[in-house]
Structure 1
């Protein structure tokens, strides 16, 4: 796979020498983990076994921890280069805030980021008890937002045209999935037969959740298990039974992301999935006394929902459109004019390429992670900058869906 390098963040283009980096919020996805329970929905059609993992299901691996630490070290490099932190030593007390979701993989990833960002400094990671439902990352499950399952279903159907319409746009990815699963002429399993690629979308049995069945539900998690095997550095014979190359990796990533087109990106869903996180970010950006760096460590759906709220799409090196790379981060950076105090925002996505993570390549100024600059919908009419107030207004609208 090809490594694409992007330079670390620089001041906004207009009056660059007048702009100082003031605050950064990074929303990270956890590092490489073993497959989740029930994640694999389709087996190799001729009975070949899935590879074994060195840890129980859903756990951050040692390789995953090393990959996350590489990002933490790089964050210290570019933030010190931008003048937000010294290049060495411990940050000033209260200048870094880190909050993680309650899964082992998110807590461990957050601690790895902390340890790499400030070695030996004992940066603390905040989180609720392991396994609890944290409203920041799971607002619907924790009943922290107003939620109408029928309204959600109607929005999903209207904005996606249904699961079959989504699948129809990615028949090349479905075909690639079939090849990886071992389909050959004459095989009759659903993954091998295009005529069987039909899904359903309905209300869940509880009257609140969304029940998705069919090829998107079947291929998303299964593809992710193969993606994780590649990123873990497993021998290629154990990555999709030796049937995955760079192009196939990207297509599997595209299938993985289709699940978010149902469960995270549609407007009604995104506004609520991101509501509590939006509120937390809103409070941080509106508080001059907040930590200079705030890090949230959650999952892919948290990033997709926040990106949707802000009206942004992304496509990172090696991955499919809108699929959050493992161990990558969506960043909101706030810059202040030294001359008049005006504050503007730049949004960036940074993540290791698949090969950087697979081979644990050191991240440096000369060989940084991939990076994409994103423009919130509210700022697309501006040719030079994005006013902070415009971003705050968008976050405020999402946060309004919180209960209480």
Structure 2
């Protein structure tokens, strides 16, 4: 609706508020006009517009008045660009800075800055050849797009909704329907949707964009989505049930008793070779497993059995490993050695902290993306001896070999 400046501008308005003028003023400001230009077009005094924007402090008989639009700046880091960020973008664009320079200065991705300029820039006075990025208008447009929930695309377009409903009655899948839309309406993007949009229109409660009974036309026959990755439906990792780290003895947790080991593999180039690592939790003593024939569960099991059988019984109490497939034969390993295996929680490498630290040290000897099968058993023993001969701060500057020797002497 066109706005007309009132004719009786010289008369006092009394208690009547300038509702239409205020709405038009802020609409023009959102389009990027200056305050002075917006006031001129609406037919109000410049001070009136300033008071609407910034509020008014108490003075004499006049009471303080808050701004018409109260904008509270969010606290802490934000995933969204803020008004200050947009002002910085506008300033740097005037200085001919590149998008990547601006992104680095704001700590954002270059695509974020590029998308912001493309979406919220505007043509000057409708002339596409004259373009500018105005930060305050850009911020207002971005804020107007943010509120949720938003009306769905299907619910707003009756032709699109009817097309989808008609083809669902024909038992077409949502993906087939969406491809047909793109084929039949190639030049009408308002008729293009992703198949997930169709599923949400059917399943999400409260949308009401498609008839709920149409969900029965889907090939699954379900009227609601079936959740995935439920704990009770998860396929067991190994044939032999795992004993989790939460059931590991307390003596292993506080490192008070020696004989509890942490294990892992360091992987070579293209995942085709590996070296097994064992670290004793109390002494940080390292032992390396030679795996020249591969890293299958059987190869790892055999190498572990051969290695731990060289230890006295009081130094072979338990083994902690991650849930890698190389430990699928953990049951037969326990039968052969009487050493229980405890498994870490998924994505929890800190539960084997000593082993992870040792793997980092070993990468100095066995760099990533190299073939680890070329290293002989004697070379692995020499590397382990070198690591075990280093003094450790956590051991009071004793070496792991010295600490282990003391334990063996005490036991004898």
Please indicate the TM-score interval, normalised by the length of the shorter structure.
under 0.3
Greater RCO between the two (CA within 8 Å, min separation 6)?
1
| Structure whose residues are more often strand by fraction | 1
| Structure whose residues are more often helix by fraction | 2
TM-score between the two structures when normalised by the length of structure 2: 0.18
